Chain A
């Protein structure tokens, strides 16, 4: 086992355990903290895939902004006062469905002949400059649409969440 493989297995285990914590933790705040672990693990996976720009974006947006937002909403909705029952009664069914889906996906992945599809043995480095050039030249319209989506979503969020006059 090479060093790279060892690092991959450690990071993948951390990510999967973090994800497991998110869906199994009894305390909602612990679930949010496990989410941070899983998201940082995914950033590590991006690094192993030689996508260093995405890894940085992942840490900045998910590791910081999204998790802080989630923790804030947990605080504002007084998650700790909520009784212990955080799981719905359809839990066994959910477990069955999720494991069936996992089995299906893993079977599909294992039985596919990736070499025939042109999968290379090596990971190719993508320089961040190339990525930026492509983003602003070939993909500039989706980029602008994405910025529009962001502004509309954030203005909508402000309007939805603010306390109106006469309320409370």
Chain B
């Protein structure tokens, strides 16, 4: 059998990759993709905990379903904002959108 740690380590790797992507990328779309990676890591953790720790209640599975739902809404909204940004400022790079920067 695969021990639970293996799944959790995979989740940790994906989450760290997502953190790196969010911090290191310039394009808003790429940042959004890295956020998706982080959400996936969280889903893996939820499902692994549901499968190993609380098999009778499967709250983790329900939670993962809601994570996917909210992530879908988030992607739709965020990409619309990126489109609007591109139309207004002709760029999709977050470091060039610095009007509010002090």
Contact = CB atoms under 8 A, between A and B. Distances in A.
A23 B25 contact: yes
B72 A123 contact: no
Interface in B29-73: 29-30, 32-34, 36-37, 40, 43-44, 47-48, 50-53, 55, 58, 61-62, 64-66, 68-73
A129 interface: no
Interface majority SS (helix, strand, loop, mixed), chain A = helix
Contacts of B51: 49-51, 123-124, 126
Interface string A68-88: 011011101101001001111
Contacts of B15: 101-102, 105
B61 A70 contact: no
B62 A134 contact: yes
A42 B43 CA distance: 9
Interface in B50-102: 50-53, 55, 58, 61-62, 64-66, 68-77, 79-84, 86-87, 92-93, 95
Contacts of B34: 22-23
Nearest to B95: A88
Contacts of B2: 4-5, 8, 48, 123
A12 B95 CA distance: 33
Contacts of B80: 156-158, 160-161
Contacts of A4: 1-2
Interface residues of B, number: 70
B70 A19 contact: no
Given A23-B24, A94-B20, A150-B69, A139 B55 contact: no
A102 to B, nearest CB: 4
Interface of A: 2, 4-5, 8, 12, 15-16, 19-20, 22-23, 28, 31-32, 35, 38-39, 42, 45-46, 48-51, 53-54, 57-58, 61-62, 65-66, 69-70, 72-74, 76-77, 79, 82, 85-88, 90-91, 93-95, 97-99, 101-102, 105-106, 109-110, 114, 117-124, 126, 130-131, 134-135, 139, 142, 146, 149-150, 153-154, 156-158, 160-161, 163, 167-168
Given A76-B83, A86-B26, A102-B16, 16 more contacts: A19-B13, A23-B18, A23-B24, A35-B36, A39-B40, A42-B43, A66-B72, A79-B27, A91-B23, A120-B53, A126-B50, A130-B58, A149-B73, A150-B69, A154-B76, A161-B80
